[in-house]
Amino acid sequence: MRISDHISEKIICLALEKTTKDDVIRELAELLKDSEDVTDFDMFLKDVFEREKLGATGIGNEIAIPHARTDAVNNIIIAFGRSSQGVDFNGIDNKPVKLVFLMGTPKKDINKYLQVLAHLTRLLKKESFRQQLLEAQNAGEVLNAIRQIEN
């Protein structure tokens, strides 16, 4: 299961403008709004916020992975955003989040969902990869970093 199969340059934002968790999630979700994989944008957003209520998605190391299993998407989708100032995601380490991966997965694909989430989490444990994401100058460099670490 490859992260690079579910992300593209047009759904990468290297300069998130919003400063709160909810606003950042909305900002990233907007990147997915016109995706053919999103069948119901409002439901997708509602489901992500419902999942957020269950527990913080800030996983430490300045990373958050807000996500939802939802009937509002027909394929796994992942948007990536970077915040220079950091955003409070109530992370386990109480540090502001700079790297945000917003993920949606069809409810029926629970195994794929778990695989992608676990794979992404494993990759993000590598400090050199996180540093590449923080230093990327454009969306192409983000994709290249993801592809390199997956190979």
Q: Which of the residues 21, 67, 82, 98 is marked catalytic?
A: 67
Q: What distance in Å separates the CA atoms of residue 86 and residue 82, rounded to the nearest whole number?
A: 8
Which residue's entry shows tokens 């970077």? 82
Residue 1 has pLDDT above 80, yes or no: no
CA dist., res. 74 & res. 110, Å (int): 13
Per-residue pLDDT tens digits for 35-52: 999 999 999 999 999 998
Quote the domain boundaries for residue 31: 3-150
Going by C-alpha positions, the residue among 102, 97, 91 that lies closest to residue 33 is 102
Q: Is 67 a catalytic residue?
A: yes
Confidence of residue 142 (pLDDT cuts 50, 70, 90): very high
pLDDT digits (tens, 9 = 90+) for 70-98: 999 999 999 999 999 999 998 888 899 99
Domain count, the chain: 1
CATH number of the domain encompassing residue 111: 3.40.930.10
Average pLDDT, the chain: 93
pTM here is: 0.94
